[in-house]
Amino acid sequence: MSPKIHACLLRSIVSKLACLSLTCVVTVISGMPRSYAADWIVETVAGTGAKGYSGDGGAASEAQINNPYGLVIGPDQGLYFCDIDNHVIRKVADDGTISTIAGSGKAGYSGDGGPAKEALLNQPYEIRFNSDGNILFVEMPNHLVRKVDLKSGLISTIAGTGKAGFSGDGGPAIDATFHRPHSIQFDAWGNLLICDIGNHRIRRIGKSSGLVETLSGTGEKKATPEGAPLFQTPLNGPRALDVAPDGDLWLALREGNAVYRIDMKKGRFHHVAGTGKKGFTGNGGPAATATLSGPKGISLDAQGNVWLADTESHSVRMIDMQTGNLQLIAGNGERGDGPDGDPLKCQLARPHGIFAAADGSVYIGDSENHRVRRLRKKE
């Protein structure tokens, strides 16, 4: 074979190999699963990004807020959120206007028996509605839970003495002491559950009795073993919880960097996400082998997927319950402020609150950006 023919043949082979290689690459790329985040857009619904306390009566998007944490859609379809460093509870109505529901804007502890808007609150952290349509919220530095009767507008304390401690199990919740309670939720029977994080316990207040008891936790900051019993098992930083329609509890451990499902029928813990080590790895893969970074918010959507405010990774992540995989939905792991639009390009700053609404939207308390944001599916 002449050198000229040999060279031509070599070029032909190289060209075919290059095409084959490119085809393989294209095939691999086209066969990759589409990013979950690609189905969503993010937008700001409250806050300008500048911390402050202004705007009541006007558009929520033009109001100033200061460190939003827990949030929830109320029975009236309004968005209620804890504006913690303004020491108030605020509401965004259907028409987009913002108002204050509870708190005078000054830190303290006073006002029980009087109008909620004249009371002194101290950093309300999380908020829920009971079956009567009244607001319950935690004041973490005051170590208690309070209620606002929306019909009368009056405020009262329903759990805690205002002093830090661990006492009162078996007695009235109003006489018990808690230590930095953070998250609250109602179980399937209407009992109030409290993440008593300083005591490393979940405590329960009976709906009818008003008595308090320890549901889980020993007070020790130790790992929670897979399959461990509900009672007398240690919890390392129980920070946030939600309840599934079947009655199971979902618990995020902030210090433990993990998520557990608690089978309430069998009274057992089941590890679902997080290795226990702090990190931001495993997106797109099995949730159980991923690393989390201080999750402080958890919410279940209508499909049973578990949404997390992964606070210290400045992101929103979701456990897809069909696959068991952990998906990154918003943020990129770096602290920042937006922009709205593509959720993976929208940087967050230590988000604490998260709420998956019935209409499919997911609300985020983008805490240190002083904004409330909403994830919604593209049309």
Return the percentage of the chain with pLDDT > 70, whole number. 91
Of 85 and 35, the one with more pLDDT: 85
Q: Which of 240, 236, 204 is nearest to 355 (CA)?
A: 240
User: Which of 176, 189, 192, 311 minimizes the C-alpha distance to 241?
Assistant: 192
339 prior amide bond cis, ω within 30: yes
The whole-number pLDDT of residue 36 equals 87
Q: What is the pLDDT of residue 86?
A: 98
Those residues whose C-beta lies under 8 Å from the C-beta of residue 357, and which sit 6 or more positions away, are 73, 363
Percent of the chain with pLDDT over 90: 89
The whole-number pLDDT of residue 35 equals 74
Mean pLDDT of 202-212: 97
Question: Region 229-239: what's the mean pLDDT?
Answer: 94
> Which pLDDT band, with edges at 50, 70 and 90, does 29 fall under?
very low
Q: Cα dist. 21→15, 225, 330 in Å?
A: 10, 47, 34
Higher pLDDT pick, 123 / 2: 123
Question: What's the mean pLDDT in 122-149?
Answer: 97
- Return phi, psi of residue 79, to 5°: -95, 115
Across residues 189-209, what is the average pLDDT? 97
Kindly indicate the confidence band of residue 34, based on its pLDDT and cuts at 50, 70 and 90: low
Mean pLDDT of all residues in the chain?
Answer: 92
| DSSP bridge pairs for 260 | 251, 271
pLDDT (tens digit per residue) in 301-325? 999 999 999 999 999 999 999 999 9
Dihedral over Cα of 305, 306, 307, 310: its sign: negative
